[in-house]
Amino acid sequence: MATTISNPPYNMKWQHPFFAQSQERFMLGVPPESNANYAFILTALSKQDKAVFLLPNGVLSTNNKEEQAIKASLVEKNYLEAVISLPDQMFESTSIPTSLLIFNKKKQTSNILMVNASSLATEEVREQRGQVGSESHINRVYKKKVNVLSDDAINKVMSLLDKPADEPGLSKVASIQTIKGQDYILTPNRYIEMKKETVQHSSLEKLAEQLNRVSAEKGAVKLTINKKMASDLGLMPLIKLLQEGAQTSKELNEQFKDDGIALSDESIVTLTNSKTFKIEVKKWDKLPAIVVMFAQMWKQLMITCNNEENRYLMELKDIMLERYFG
């Protein structure tokens, strides 16, 4: 079967030919003059039963009403055989992500294969010589990272085209009805099931150690603050989270009481109506980090204020000396 293989200019503007709607190639619709992507597809399919196009991902989920209608017709006519999304940065000249659209007017099934080949990509560093500009620019060698598909990755995609199958994270065989239910959007990841990855958890002992460390650090300082002051400082949302966290800690302590987890469930913030702002150190074996930070900030402020005060005192001293000895 003769096949058209094309990587046409992307998103190119064009002009409608005379009597475009009466031309056989545009029986499924006339693409907009603002973008010729679907004009290339329809022209190829009017000449061959099979075509493969490399196009930007915009063709998969276009918002243009003319293109949407053509895309829907291509699906409903059962012309679309497969969509293979490719990784971005495959070209040395642009990072635009692209997809392969495979059309077959004589296909034997009404399903469409969706493949996310981006998951198979690997990164490669290539040397690229400047092509325009001064001699020094042309002779300069650049290193550019590109995404590539290995032979094994290509063979994997080819095997799916030969025998379409569902593979989590990689491929999905979608029915026309399913695609219709998604408003004919052709982005593969919309249909492919996510690959379930096994999460490696830390040991319960390690988690208990880390949780107890964080809990001790949180509970090392207790803050008593006027309610209005806390609100003016924007602290109320955080205080609410801390209160909810204390309740969660109580529940976890009960659930894991035999596993060495002892989270602090004490309230570390007390709201009061009195004019109070007090920081109380609860753990004296090691100075809490917040106290050290506060001490450093207080120290810097006092040094600044003291230096400024000394300048004014010196000026006042000069005035006094002039008054008594001038």
pLDDT in tens, 185-195: 999 999 999 87
Q: Indicate whether 147 and 208 sit together in one domain.
A: no
Q: How far, in Å, CA of 257 to CA of 259, rounded?
A: 6
Domain count along the chain: 2
Q: How far, in Å, CA of 134 to CA of 155, rounded?
A: 43
pLDDT the model gives residue 326 = 64
Q: Indicate whether 43 and 185 sit together in one domain.
A: yes
Q: Is residue 244 within 8 Å of 276, Cβ to Cβ?
A: no
pLDDT the model gives residue 241 = 87
Query: Would you say residue 264 lies in a domain?
Result: yes
Average pLDDT over residues 148-170: 94
Q: Indicate whether 178 and 43 sit together in one domain.
A: yes
Q: Indicate whether 186 and 240 sit together in one domain.
A: no
The domain spanning residue 157 has which CATH number? 3.40.50.150
Structure confidence at residue 135 as a pLDDT band (50, 70, 90) = low
Q: Indicate whether 30 and 58 sit together in one domain.
A: yes
Among 190, 223, 238, the domain boundary falls at 190
Query: Would you say residue 196 lies in a domain?
Result: no
pLDDT the model gives residue 151 = 93
Structure confidence at residue 289 as a pLDDT band (50, 70, 90) = confident
* Predicted confidence (pLDDT) at residue 261 exceeds the cutoff of 80: no
Among 159, 190, 221, the domain boundary falls at 190
Instruction: Give the range of the structural domain holding residue 305, as residue numbers without chain letter.
Output: 204-323
Query: Would you say residue 38 lies in a domain?
Result: yes
The region that residue 51 occupies, defined by phi over 0 for left and psi between -120 and 50 for alpha, beta otherwise, is beta
Query: Would you say residue 197 lies in a domain?
Result: no
Among 139, 159, 190, the domain boundary falls at 190
Query: Would you say residue 198 lies in a domain?
Result: no
Q: Could you tell me whether strands 80-85 and 98-104 are parallel, antiparallel, or unpaired per DSSP bridges?
A: antiparallel
Phi, psi of 84 (to 5 degrees): -120, 110
Q: Indicate whether 25 and 139 sit together in one domain.
A: yes
- Provide the token pair at 235: 């602290």
Query: Would you say residue 53 lies in a domain?
Result: yes
Q: Is residue 118 within 8 Å of 157, Cβ to Cβ?
A: no
| Start-end of H helices in 141-235 | 151-162, 176-181, 204-218, 227-232
Q: Indicate whether 78 and 177 sit together in one domain.
A: yes
Q: Which residues of 156-165 are buried (b: 16+ CB within 10 A; e: fewer)?
A: bbeebeeebe
Q: Indicate whether 35 and 182 sit together in one domain.
A: yes
Query: Would you say residue 106 lies in a domain?
Result: yes
**pTM, rounded to two decimals:** 0.60
Structure confidence at residue 1 as a pLDDT band (50, 70, 90) = low
Query: Would you say residue 220 lies in a domain?
Result: yes
Helix/strand number for the chain, H first, E second: 9, 11
Q: Indicate whether 89 and 145 sit together in one domain.
A: yes
Q: Indicate whether 16 and 136 sit together in one domain.
A: yes
Q: Indicate whether 58 and 104 sit together in one domain.
A: yes
The three-class DSSP label of residue 277 is strand
Q: Could you tell me whether strands 98-104 and 50-56 are parallel, antiparallel, or unpaired per DSSP bridges?
A: antiparallel
pLDDT the model gives residue 35 = 94
Q: Indicate whether 186 and 210 sit together in one domain.
A: no
Block residue for tokens 């002779």 = 139
Q: How far, in Å, CA of 38 to CA of 130, rounded?
A: 34
